[in-house]
Amino acid sequence: MPRQKIGEENVRKLQRTGKDARSYMITLPLEMIYELGWQKKQKVIVKKQGNTLVIQDWK
């Protein structure tokens, strides 16, 4: 599936996941993962700030 971009933004879809489908997942652009130095099975923290989600490295 080709990457969808609007301007400089990457567009992603929310997808249901899990046995009971009570969770959602989103893919992250590979380039961003490399820039952050994240690895497979990286633990991250997801925070809600207003209407924005912030994803940061779990330290």
Determine the pLDDT at residue 44: 95
pLDDT band at 34 (very low <50, low <70, confident <90, very high): very high
CB 47 within 8 A of CB 53: yes
User: What single-letter DSSP state applies at residue 37?
Assistant: T
pLDDT band at 2 (very low <50, low <70, confident <90, very high): low
Residue 1 has pLDDT above 60, yes or no: no
pTM of the model: 0.68
Distance CA 39, CA 7 (A): 27
Domain layout of the chain by residue ranges: 5-57
Pick the more confident residue, 11 or 55. 55
